Structure 1
Amino acid sequence: MDVVLSRLNISLDNVTLSTSTIRQGLIEEYSNNRKVGEPAYHILIVLYSILIIFGATGNSLVVMAVARKPQMRTARNMFIVNLAVSDLLLCLVTMPLTLVEILTKYWPMGRLPFLCKSIGTLQATSIFVSTISITAIALDRYQVIVYPTRDSLQRMGAIVILTGIWIISLVLASPMFITRRLIHYDVNLPSLGIEYISYCIEDWPMARGRVYYSVFTLCVQYLLPILIVSIAYLRIYLKLKHRLVVTTTTVSTNSNSKDSQPVRERERGRRMQRTNYLLISIALIFGISWLPLNLFNLFADLYLSGITQEIMVAYAICHMMGMSSACSNPLLYGWLNDNFRKEFNEILCRK
């Protein structure tokens, strides 16, 4: 989770700050409240801005496509909308606030302890919701394709599942609300326009509590979802491959027929192939996007006791890779869906 930044900002166990010590170094260290120098500072701002704009635009289109047409409000599409909403939170809340944490040395949002707690909790919640939603979509597609004779999910059932996703995500993110707190150091340096500096930190009651939570997060937010998604899509792939073999055999048998059945079968086979490629792409993109950030967080909790500009830039790269899923999801679950693409075209081309 990106909330590892609050642990890197300051360590209560290893750093003891007095007002006099802060005063002596403050002019050099804090008159320019930046962790990252040039040109990385402005490059990160540009890259994050691109991710935010593309992600917010794509996910807004997904929400609008379903909101404007009653026939689009199916149980299956509700999962995609839920994913889009969580990704909007990633774009509009998590990314901007994480960028601020990456670039600044100390907490820039005043004496607001609840804001320190709630921001970290919301960041973690949105990541959990996004990941669990992707898993739920995979399981829903698995049931529809592998077991087509079973009763399909109804809207009320989808609402119950989505409510459960948000509740579970809040519970998983609750350690952020419990452990995060705001600390202040009064320095009273009017010449710099600084009366105090603040840090939003994680104060874990256990010595290695942060490490345990990182391992738990790695398992729940990455390893378990990627395992479920991969197995579900593998089963779907095998099922569609079997149908494709049957379709190809049917086309060969009827190749001399004068009716249009072989044409329809070939088109069906091409759709199955496209679906297979899409499923493989979803699993690969999910795995590639989130792996660096999870590994970095675990490494930071185990081995890092301080921060340098190089570490912050490395973290930013890993974080942007994870957040890039908020840009790819509207493409994978929206644009590559014929119904969604039609709605997108109507929205964008409407005069």
Structure 2
Amino acid sequence: QQPLVSTNIMEASFLSDTDNQTFVDEHFYFDDTINGFSVAMAALYLVVCILGLAGNSLVIVAILKLDKMSSSTTVYVFNLALADGLFMVGLPFIASQNFQNHWMFGDTACKVVMVLDGINQFTSVFCLTVMSVDRYMALADPLRFARWRTPRCAKIVSAFLWLFSLLTILPMALHFSADHGLCIPEVVSDAWWLGVLSYTFVMGFALPFTIMTASYAALLLTLRSQRLRTPTQNQESHRLERQVTKMVVVVVVVFGVCWLPFYAFNFSSLYQNGLVLTFARGFEFVVLLSYSWSCANPILYACLSDTFRRHFRSLLCPADKSTPSMQCNTERCDSSDTGVRDVTIVA
């Protein structure tokens, strides 16, 4: 069994072929029948790439210029936006290969692109996971966890996440090769590739999704408990609880919708024997969906965070005099009883 499509380090499926060259020949065989589909997908890849780069660049500029990473939250948001933005950089290479059915950038570029692609992909997911834990600590007991939520500590954790992503992905990324005209992994054996898929699924989806769900569930339980203990502020607390509940549902659902289909296709490809063209088209679409996750994060900021809405408005409409000071003192907010509002930055 050999890879059907190579997109990034966690995005490969396979079907029964005798060797990589047979796969390449069959891949070219589909070329005449999917030109229209390839053009449409190339256009969608371009749209996602542009929106992802623009949106995440806006987040980065907003944090550096207006917030200056004044809290642990914005340090994690900055690293998330940086990883998502860099993740978009590899998209033109992937789109070019899918459109031309050929990797034209050489073997070294193949390995470099896959390494960088994997690092940014894992770092994006890891940052979002750490942010969910950070938000819980900010709400559950801000004084107790204050020393773990300083910008300096957040920068150290973020640096570790980048290093951990590199160590996690490097052994697999180096197995990619362009020797057969496509940037695809050299599969050692079926068992080895199944192990790779299982490992990336656990590290890139199952474990982060479990941690995020547990953190957000604990956060909502804490909110409800605080609301019940403070009946005088019941209306305000109830409003904040609804706001955070909406945020939690959106973040978890969007993450699941963007990534779960891709993993489902990867594992189902191990056992599918027919409808090769239909499966290939479906796989290419779920790959695009997984890249759309990095494009969606800035939109979630704009929709769910009052702070980032003010930041974006200040950058895009600098003549607007009604915008208050853009310095976001989130650490102060987190330490207060009304710190729940800041939790909406978590997207």
> Do both share a fold (TM > 0.5)?
yes
Q: 1:181 to 1:39 in 2, by over 3 A?
A: closer
1:278 is aligned, of 238, 247, 265, to 247
- Greater shift after overlay, 119-128 or 329-338? 329-338
In the alignment, is the contact (CA less than 8 A) between 2:13 and 2:266 conserved in 1?
A: no
Q: Work out whether residues 80 and 333 of structure 1, in 8 Å CA contact, stay in contact via their aligned partners in 2.
A: no
Summarize the Cα distance change of 1:51–1:199 in structure 2 as closer, same or farther, 3 Å threshold: closer
* Structure 1 gap ranges (5+): 185-197, 252-264
* 3-state DSSP of counterpart to 1:331: helix
User: Which sections of structure 2, spanning at least 5 residues, go unmatched?
Assistant: 1-6, 320-347
Output the aligned Cα RMSD. 2.9
Match of 1:14?
Answer: 19
Q: Which residue of 2 aligns with 1:350?
A: 318
Return the alpha-carbon distance in structure 1 between the equivalents of residues 306 and 13 of structure 2. Answer: 45
8 Å contact 2:12–2:266 — kept in the other structure?
no
Query: Is the contact made by 2:111 and 2:174 (CA closer than 8 Å) also made in structure 1?
Result: yes
For 2:113 and 2:243, the matched residues in 1 are separated by 40
Matched, 1:322 2:290: yes
Match of 1:183 in 2: 179
Counterpart residue type for residue 203 of structure 1: E
For 2:194 and 2:116, locate their aligned partners in 1 and report how far apart those are by CA, in whole Å.
Answer: 20
Is contact 1:138-1:233 (8 Å) kept?
Answer: yes
Percent of aligned positions that are identical: 24
1:1-351 map, 5 Å: 2-3=8-9, 13-14=18-19, 34=31, 37-70=34-67, 72-93=69-90, 95-109=91-105, 112-152=106-146, 153-183=149-179, 198-247=181-230, 249-250=231-232, 266-300=235-269, 302-303=270-271, 308-350=276-318
Give the direction of change, closer, same or farther, for the CA distance of 1:169–1:4 in structure 2 (3 Å limit): closer
Change (3 A) 1:275 1:311: same
CA distance in 1, matches of 2:223, 2:316: 33
Contact 1:35 1:105 in 2 (8 A): no
> Following TM superposition, by how much is the alpha carbon of 1:331 offset from its aligned partner in structure 2, in angstroms?
2.7
Hey, what does 1:254 align to over in structure 2? none
Q: Which moved more, 1:199-208 or 1:119-128?
A: 199-208
Q: How many residues align?
A: 309
Equivalents in 2 of 1:36, 1:62: separation in Å? 41
Q: Match for 1:159: what amino acid? A: K
Q: CA 1:83/1:45 → structure 2, altered by over 3 Å: closer, same or farther?
A: same
